[in-house]
Structure 1
Amino acid sequence: MENTGVPPGFPIAQVSGPLIVAYMLHWGLFGALTIQTYLYFEAFPNDRNSTKCLVYAVYCLELVQTILVSHDAFLDFGYGFGNLAALTAMDYNWLNVPVMTSIVAFIGQSFYAYRIYLLSKSWILPSLIMATSITSSTAGLVTGAFVFVAGDLTRLDNHRTNVAVGTWLASSATSDILIAACMTYCLLKDGTGFRRTRILVTRLVRLSIETGSITATVALLDLALFFIFPGKTYYSTPAAIMPKIYANTMLAVLNSRFHILGGRTAPVASAISITNNSNVMSLRFRRGNPVETDVDASHTAAASDDYSQNTSGIVFSKDVLVHYEGKDAASV
């Protein structure tokens, strides 16, 4: 690569600054994803094999992307230090950003669409989500091809690339908003009299809105920066972290099933055990004081106002973490 140097007075920070921020955020989000994957591995060994394979496949994809991003970062600020051409070279960005984002987003949105089908028992809403997801992923792959041909971060301002980028990011944001709205509707449409279930549903609704808002906001921010500042690299910051945002939000939904004892959203019960004698279920409650009481309930009735017989509790890691994996929670 020809060493062009940096012309005097050139605003180099406008080119290198967004890239540095993108690399730091990318590595930070990969660390968060690693912790979330480890927590999932420890907390839910009995999940379906399909769900576990989905989680580990996404993590492997993100690991590969992090390796390629680190390679590009070293080319930009290591071998190519002081070389403007090396700083704006495409390298593996065509694969890291549009292609990887499209793949991970499609996996995550398919995961949400299947969860919405389990909740609604209808293919109408999931089909609409999948249609927008397929449109977004296809446009992302096409964008990757255009970016590869361009070969430079500052040469992406042409009609074909603009149409592909606009379709990719707009449809991705639309799909995320649809997912948040559909999850909220499906979770709220059926009421329940159990306080514990109401708390779980409220938390899942809040989590669905938050995760959908985050992914949609990042996609729309990337879209705005790309068109408002043509020829600049400002868009590279949100674009580089989009795959990690999708992966982290998916793991956040799966890991929302466990609780931290003593935390702000800690469950009322500290442990639950089920005995086979006379079909009796014994529950040990801790209600904010050191006194513990045992409550026995017949299998013919709910065990308490908060728990039903199909709820199981698992205490692990020295009683620090607890997760509840009832039939309803496992399907959300």
Structure 2
Amino acid sequence: MANKDSTFGAAFVGFAASSLCLGILSTQAYSYFKRYPLDKRFYKLLVAFLWLLEVGDQCLIAHAVYTYLVSNWGLVTILLAKPVWSLVLQITVGVVTGTIVKLNYAVRVWRFSKKNILVTGLIFLLTFGELGVACVYTYQSFRLESLADIGSMKMIGTLSLALGMATDVVIAAALCYFLRDLRTGHSKDDSVVNSLIIYAVGTGGLTSVVSFTTLLLYNFMPDNFIFMAFYFVLSKVYANSFLAALNTRRVSRGRGTDAETTTMPTFLMVGKATQRTVQLDPEAHGQSPISPNKSDMKSSLSPMPSHHYAEAW
């Protein structure tokens, strides 16, 4: 007989954890729209779409948990019936969220790497590979005669989770490698780069850990719902990491990715030598005073727009 703690109990815990993550995501979405009212429409629509997608994902999880824990309360035999449709569909919805976030990270790698086709192409390949395998897994799940037979699709499920984890590792490694080349030797600029590297490792490490844990549990304990509990949370971890990246940008009158300008070291200045003007005494060097070139003065004194770097990050 199935253990209720490792099946129904695990599903309930996963639902509670995913609800908490959705609350954090909602707070981040609210903070984004409040802090960056002049952000580009693309980012606003993307944030809204991700939030709606995760709300829909949570509704699917809630329906599945309600079906197993309330409508069929105490009936362990429900595990021998066909999987409820919402539980199966949630698999694909969760992967779609991860795909959107990873594609945005791939764009960052593309910009930071100065359009490195090989690395960026690998990330795209892994991302769409995971999406394709997950769709196959969803299709096969709809054809299962019993939820207890979910372990029979271990190969497809393992491949999908492994591709997702590999994508996270490649993205984090690529960002760290290419961000390292943006160091200028100036402490202020390099501190920004170091912060971005730490952030890339942190977000990539977090998603990788959740994916790896889900992968291990699915392979060693496929007959319970513990791995499902971790999978319920995974997509919201991706969405939260993306919104955190948007919300940690420099705030300048709510402009965000529009046309933020500043004379202080910003994301755009990373990788570019800080232009400094050196005042020399012409007579001390045996030279006649020469008026500086206007274009040079303009390039060294004009504030440098940081919206390009903000878009990249």
TM-score normalised to the size of structure 1? 0.74
* Identical aligned residues as a percent: 23
CA distance in 2, matches of 1:247, 1:112: 12
Whether the aligned pair in 2 keeps the contact of 1:80 and 1:87 (CA below 8 Å) is no
Whether the aligned pair in 1 keeps the contact of 2:107 and 2:312 (CA below 8 Å) is no
Q: Does 1:64 align with 2:56?
A: yes
- 2:133 maps to a residue whose letter is A
- 1:105 maps to a residue whose letter is G
Match 2:129 to one of 129, 135, 150 = 135
Higher RCO (CA < 8 A, seq sep 6+):
2
Relative to 1, partners in 2 of residues 1:310 and 1:95: Cα closer, same or farther, differing over 3 Å? same
Whether the aligned pair in 2 keeps the contact of 1:22 and 1:240 (CA below 8 Å) is yes
Per the alignment, residue 112 of structure 1 pairs with: 105
1:18-167 correspondence to structure 2 within 5 Å = 18-86=10-78, 90-91=83-84, 92-96=86-90, 98-122=91-115, 123-150=117-144, 152-158=146-152, 161-167=153-159
- Gaps (5+ residues) in structure 1? 1-6, 260-271, 275-280, 283-297, 312-324
Whether the aligned pair in 1 keeps the contact of 2:79 and 2:146 (CA below 8 Å) is no
User: After TM superposition, where is structure 1 displaced by more than 6 Å over at least 4 residues in a row?
Assistant: none
Relative to 1, partners in 2 of residues 1:152 and 1:196: Cα closer, same or farther, differing over 3 Å? farther
Per the alignment, residue 254 of structure 2 pairs with: none
String of CA shifts for 1:235-278, please: whole Å, max 9, x gaps. 1111111111111111112222147xxxxxxxxxxxx998xxxx
- 1:140 maps to a residue whose letter is A
Per the alignment, residue 331 of structure 1 pairs with: 312
Relative to 1, partners in 2 of residues 1:246 and 1:236: Cα closer, same or farther, differing over 3 Å? same
SS at match of 1:157: helix
1:244-323 correspondence to structure 2 within 5 Å = 244-258=236-250, 300=298, 309-310=303-304
Relative to 1, partners in 2 of residues 1:248 and 1:152: Cα closer, same or farther, differing over 3 Å? farther
Query: What's the offset of the Cα at 1:50?
Result: 2.1
String of CA shifts for 1:37-57, please: whole Å, max 9, x gaps. 111111223333222222211
Query: What's the offset of the Cα at 1:60?
Result: 1.0
Relative to 1, partners in 2 of residues 1:101 and 1:58: Cα closer, same or farther, differing over 3 Å? same
Relative to 1, partners in 2 of residues 1:109 and 1:88: Cα closer, same or farther, differing over 3 Å? farther
Whether the aligned pair in 2 keeps the contact of 1:176 and 1:215 (CA below 8 Å) is yes
SS at match of 2:147: coil
Query: What's the offset of the Cα at 1:167?
Result: 1.1
Query: What's the offset of the Cα at 1:110?
Result: 0.6
Per the alignment, residue 162 of structure 2 pairs with: 170
CA distance in 1, matches of 2:194, 2:307: 16
Per the alignment, residue 273 of structure 2 pairs with: none
SS at match of 1:101: helix
SS at match of 2:151: coil
Greater helix content: 2
- 1:141 maps to a residue whose letter is C
Relative to 1, partners in 2 of residues 1:299 and 1:70: Cα closer, same or farther, differing over 3 Å? farther
Query: What's the offset of the Cα at 1:192?
Result: 2.3
SS at match of 1:235: helix
Q: Does 1:213 align with 2:194?
A: no
Query: What's the offset of the Cα at 1:11?
Result: 2.8
Query: What's the offset of the Cα at 1:179?
Result: 0.4
Greater strand content: 1
Relative to 1, partners in 2 of residues 1:17 and 1:226: Cα closer, same or farther, differing over 3 Å? same
SS at match of 1:51: helix
String of CA shifts for 1:127-181, please: whole Å, max 9, x gaps. 11000111111011111112222254321122xx122111100111000000000
